[in-house]
Structure 1
């Protein structure tokens, strides 16, 4: 990767590779928003349910292979594989940070 990831993002990705829900959650701002293919999940409780039900449950692991900075938004792209139809699918993750915490995470799957 050509730019150094903020520690919180690198730690989030590493926790995801271990399917460690608590490790993933510790990097979200208390008022974080997770936008999953256009659907908003606001606050840590809602984000935890999303990650548990749609990520951990199907063993979805994101493996970024590209990274770029777009106006202070860190954009990662790469495949996500797991126990779900069509695996692996290519995703884009857009991280907006606030005080070294993930304030907004937007994920989209490539069509």
Structure 2
């Protein structure tokens, strides 16, 4: 079962299966991504973040819930892969500007 997501967020998750450049394309030029205690600013840093994550981990990601919280779109995803623990639910906090993602924070 798939859940309805705003187009830029749906595109982000679809691109996640492709490559780092495809993921970065869905962000604004000055977007910010926070993940694993690190902050990545701008498309080049976001592309490098995604490339590094793809080198370190193989995983599948399935969005399972969507909500709005404090002006952000929160997508809860189930991940299964070769990372420590092997399985986890993560919350992705998105702020969208027009048809691009301006902010993403990923936390358990």
Name the TM tier (shorter chain): 0.7 to 0.9
Unmatched segments (≥5 aa) in structure 1: none
Q: In the alignment, is the contact (CA less than 8 A) between 1:19 and 1:59 conserved in 2?
A: no
1:1-111 correspondence runs (5 A): 4-16=4-16, 18-54=17-53, 56-57=54-55, 58-109=57-108
Q: Secondary structure at the match of 2:5?
A: coil
1:30-72 per-residue CA deviation (whole Å, 9 max, x = no partner) reads 0000011442111111111111112x12123321101001243
Q: Secondary structure at the match of 1:49?
A: helix
Q: How many corresponding residue pairs?
A: 106
Instruction: State the Cα distance separating 1:78 from its structure 2 match.
Output: 2.0
Unmatched segments (≥5 aa) in structure 2: none
Give TM-score, length-normalised by structure 1.
Answer: 0.83
Q: Secondary structure at the match of 1:63?
A: strand
Q: In the alignment, is the contact (CA less than 8 A) between 1:80 and 1:88 conserved in 2?
A: yes
Give TM-score, length-normalised by structure 2.
Answer: 0.85
Aligned-pair Cα RMSD in Å: 1.9
